[in-house]
Amino acid sequence: MIRTLPRRLPPKLEELTALALDLRWTWSHSGDALWRKIDATMWDQTRNPWAVLQNVGQQRFEELTQDSEFSDELSRASSERREHLTESTWFSANGFRLKNETIAYFSMEFGLSEAIPLYAGGLGILAGDYLKTASDLGMPVVGVGILFQEGYFRQIVDAAGRQHEAYPYNDPTMLPIQPVAAPHGGWLRVGIDLPGRTLWLRVWRANVGRVALYLLDSNDLLNTPVDRGITSKLYGGGPETRLLQELVLGIGGWRALLALDLEPSLAHLNEGHAAFVVIERARQFMGRANVSFYEALWATRAGNVFTTHTPVAAGFDVFAPELLSKYLPPFGDYLARLGISSNELLALGRRDPNDGAAPFNMAHLAMRGCSYTNAVSRLHGTVSRRLFAELFPRWPESEVPVDHVTNGVHVPSWDSRAADSLWSNACGKERWRGSSDRLPEVMTAPSDEDLWTMRSEERADLLAYARRRLERQFAQRGAQPSVVEGAARIFEPGALTLGLARRFAEYKRADLLLHEPDRLARLLTDAARPVQIVVAGKAHPEDEVGKRIIAEWIAFVNRPDVRHRAAFIEDYDMSLAEQLVQGVDVWINTPRRPWEACGTSGMKVLVNGGLNLSELDGWWAEAYTPEVGWALGDHAEVTTDWRDAQDLYTALEQQVVPEFYDRDERGIPRRWLARIRASMAGLAPTFSSNRMVREYAERVYVGAAERFHERVDGGARLAKELRAWQQALESHWNEIRVGKSDFATRQGAIDFNVSVDLGRVPPDAVRVELFADTPGDEPPFLRPMEPVKDAPTSPNGLLFAATVVTSRPASDFTVRVVPDRRGVRVPAEMALIHWGR
């Protein structure tokens, strides 16, 4: 049940409330004219229908009740929404194996719109795109996050290039969200015990099309002033505030779902911030199934999925044992109900569970509490296996259980009007709501002239938007009137337009283009082949290196010789990002490989006909081919900034600029358009969140749900058996002895045999196999060995044999013993391993 915040509308206009509270308007713009007609100024300033409804005077609404044209438009929009909510979806047609499941998606940030600014960067934008796509596909998803009172900062850059931060208050009455009512009235609250008090969390709901997003906030009169500030700033405060926010998200989030009578089969953790979900979910299951904590963990872990976005160990949230100990005492009753000690709980988040002094790592807790872990690109999978290898001692790095599902972007949120029209004419409006397998074929339909017209319109729209933003920016900065007026003359409509916009972290190297500023200036000011660049991005408030890079860009764009061809637009947000990815000709991305886990900004230009010039990192490392864009680097992890800067300048001077200005007699750049067509056809569908969410559903969620139900059915019988199996293996694993391998070589094959003494480990609880490394990222060679007869050397010994057809020497192969049980993910859930000699 939802409590609608006060604003009485005339009966004829009541449907406006449902329309304004459905965030589908963030990607379906069919109702934009409706909101603009109510109040054009408010709509243009906020792009927030709920703010329009809350701020327009009652007299205006009375006038609209007499406007038949407005009534017809409202009726059309309401009918379209009802039809959208009831129509058949990809999931209703194809998701039969997940029909009765609910998938809870936990994320510290959600980037849905500037109207609800609860994001800092790519992680939140990805989470927002995930929810929007789940709605399009009809997936049974609920989102769980935090309603931050201030959210992330807004950026102001002064005339000297110094970044300043502002934190506007997120007034909940102006956000398109609603309080959730408790079953017996009042506001739905959930509590978490803290030292000497209970932290109360209010529950809000946002409607994202068919998907509900539940948000928690601590700004409640029942809390102390300090506790009311826990959900103040996204990523604000020190480690203690961060820990409390993660308790809110994980423990509070799961409790909120149960209070809503939702008990998802699947919990998807978008980064380790939400890892306390695995503890709370197990605790709740203990009480219902009357099982121990570890039996409950075996049961619930099967339905937990962890997505890591972090490419460096320093990016994981780590808490000192002393800080955790401060919050463990109030969990005394909590720990008693778990039936484990504080050390056992902390061991779940320690690299070495037996090291009582080790810090508590949220990513390690997530890894141990989830049966499936994935990185967000193929290269990031390789990097993540290296990062998490320490949790799987003696296992080869290639077998560390981190898969990858490459990120994608919600295309309808990022395509321009012109691109939407071109794609709609080619393949219809429903193209991103189902399988996208046929989409590459349809890009043969638009002519070169159509593509070029689209690109010209998009570029013109970006430049007009950029001029408006710059005019306001210069005026706020107190610039001379001539400078403010000059904003209208910056840029040329037909010039090659580059985009460089990102978080200004040092590893992203936003200053790579500034290594030789005079060389860049010559490129921009070429009279015959003009180039222009739009730059944007924020640095973390405490990142002085990032702030220095911003200052360098401000100094460059203020040079008299480039002032008309380069601009830094402050306060990079979703609105600016949308305009940039729609209008730029080339998107530039220069991270230090392999520190970009995926990067999705370059994916957003694909549908709009923009091209990528990027380091071979993240998604571009698997997307790049010579016909779709340009690459920096050569897949090497060891490079230098100077070398990459030279590659960047050379690519622009010798490839990008000449190709853009290579025109036929009709003024059409045919080679450039061929590249656009290849990029749009081959990459836009593949790197859409449509593909990403369907991949999660088909490849991850189905198997996880099946394992979860197997383990919880029948009073959690299987979960109890698995815990007993684990204990038996751990107790007797050190009794295993592997004898020396014997082998016989014959033409093209090798016969291996080895005696293995399993001690008290049951033979059916393990698998004996031959192992051999393979080059590169290829999976290792594995061949099960079969028992052939009792080994004469031991009463508990068995003789195992296998034949391998190979040209490799026998010395390449090693015998090993690993746990083996149907439905158990080894080594994710059982990391024991014993190697032979």
Dist CA 659 CA 647 (whole Å): 17
Three-state secondary structure along 293-342? HHHHHHHHHCCEEEECCCCCHHHCCEECHHHHHHHCHHHHHHHHHHCCCH
Band of pLDDT at residue 437, cut at 50, 70 and 90: low
Return the pLDDT at 99: 81
What pLDDT was estimated at residue 779? 85
Is 331's pLDDT higher than 80?
A: no
Tokens linked to 286:
């203990």
Give the helix ranges, DSSP H, for 2-95: 15-20, 32-38, 40-46, 49-55, 58-65, 68-86, 90-94
**553 close to 536: Cβ distance less than 8 angstroms:** no
Q: Which helix (H) or strand (E) holds 111?
A: strand 110-111
From 459, 464, 489, select the one nearest 563 (Cα to Cα): 489
Calculate mean pLDDT across residues 115-141: 94
CATH of domain 736-835: 2.60.40
Give domain limits for the chain.
11-86, 90-151+163-407+701-711, 411-428+445-687, 736-835
Arithmetic mean of pLDDT, 502-527: 94
pLDDT tens for residues 250-287?
Answer: 999 999 999 999 989 999 999 999 999 999 999 999 99
Convert the pLDDT of each residue in 282-321 to its tens digit.
999 999 999 999 999 999 999 999 999 999 988 899 999 8
How far is residue 385 CA from its own chain's centroid? 18
Write down the architecture of domain 90-151+163-407+701-711 according to CATH: 3-Layer(aba) Sandwich (3.40)
Task: Kindly state the helix (H) or strand (E) to which residue 537 belongs, with its residue range.
Answer: none
Predicted local confidence at residue 744, as pLDDT: 92
- Which range (90-94, 315-319, 786-790) has the least confidence? 786-790
Lowest-confidence region among 125-129, 349-353, 477-481, 667-671: 477-481
pLDDT at 796 over 70: no
Tokens in use for 530? 């003009």
| Percentage of the chain exceeding pLDDT 70 | 95
Helices and strands (H, E) in the chain, number of each type: 33, 31
> What average pLDDT does this structure show over 441-469?
91
At residue 6, the pLDDT reads 57
Arithmetic mean of pLDDT, 323-337:
78
Per-residue three-class SS string for 196-261: CEEEEEEEEEEEECCEEEEEEECCCCCCCHHHHCCCCECCCCCHHHHHHHHHHHHHHHHHHHHHCC
Task: Give yes or no on whether 411-428+445-687 and 736-835 have one common fold.
Answer: no
Reading the block at residue 204, the tokens are 């809000």
CATH code of the domain occupying 411-428+445-687: 3.40.50.2000
607 versus 425: the higher-pLDDT residue is 607
pLDDT at position 785, please?
A: 95
Tokens at residue 214, please?
A: 């539940």
Q: Are 18 and 81 in contact (CB under 8 A)?
A: yes
pLDDT tens digits, one per residue of 223-245: 999 999 999 999 888 999 999 99
Q: In 3D, which of 152, 113, 149 has the Cα closest to residue 24? A: 113
Region 458-469: what's the mean pLDDT? Answer: 95
Q: Judge contact between 254 and 280, C-beta under 8 A.
A: yes
The one-letter amino acid code at 193 reads D
What is the rounded CA–CA span in Å between residue 254 and residue 216? 11
Task: Write out pLDDT tens, residues 16-61.
Answer: 999 999 999 999 888 899 999 999 999 988 889 999 999 999 999 9
pLDDT(430) > 70: no
Q: What is the pLDDT of residue 184?
A: 84
- What's the pLDDT band for 747 if we cut at 50, 70, 90? confident
750 DSSP β-pair partners: 745, 804
Helix, strand, coil percentages (3-state) for the chain, rounded to 5, are 45, 20, 35
pLDDT (tens digit per residue) in 175-202 = 999 999 998 888 999 999 998 899 999 9
The residues with which 198 forms a beta bridge, in sequence order, are: 193
Residue 342 — very low, low, confident or very high, per pLDDT cuts 50/70/90?
confident
Q: What are 242's two structure tokens?
A: 């961060």
Residue 460 to residue 656: CA distance in whole angstroms:
20
> 588-602 in b/e burial notation, b at 16+ Cβ within 10 A?
bbbbbbbbbbbbbbb
pLDDT value of position 324:
86
641-651 and 517-524 are packed helices; what angle lies between their axes, rounded to 10 degrees? 10
Q: Which residues pair with 146 in a beta bridge?
A: 216
| DSSP β-bridge partners for residue 800 | 754, 787
Give yes or no for a contact between 292 and 286, defined as CB atoms under 8 angstroms apart: yes
How high is the pLDDT of residue 740? Answer: 87
**DSSP state, residue 181:** B
Q: Which residue has the higher pLDDT, 424 or 405?
A: 405
Strand partners for 409: 688
pLDDT band at 5 (very low <50, low <70, confident <90, very high): low
Confidence of residue 4 (pLDDT cuts 50, 70, 90): low
Q: What is the pLDDT of residue 792?
A: 59
**How much is the average pLDDT of 162-168?**
92
Size (the chain), residues: 837
Task: Check pLDDT > 90 for residue 414.
Answer: yes
Q: For residues 299 and 291, is the Cβ–Cβ distance under 8 A?
A: yes
pLDDT digits (tens, 9 = 90+) for 644-697: 999 999 999 999 999 999 999 999 999 999 999 999 999 999 999 999 999 999
pLDDT over 60 at 3, yes or no: no
Give the pLDDT of residue 329: 66
Which band of pLDDT confidence, cut at 50, 70 and 90, is reported for residue 510?
A: very high
Residue 523: pLDDT above 80? Answer: yes
| pLDDT tops 90 at residue 333 | no
Span between the terminal Cα atoms of the chain, in Å: 64
Question: pTM here?
Answer: 0.95
Q: Which pair of structure tokens corresponds to residue 332?
A: 């005394």
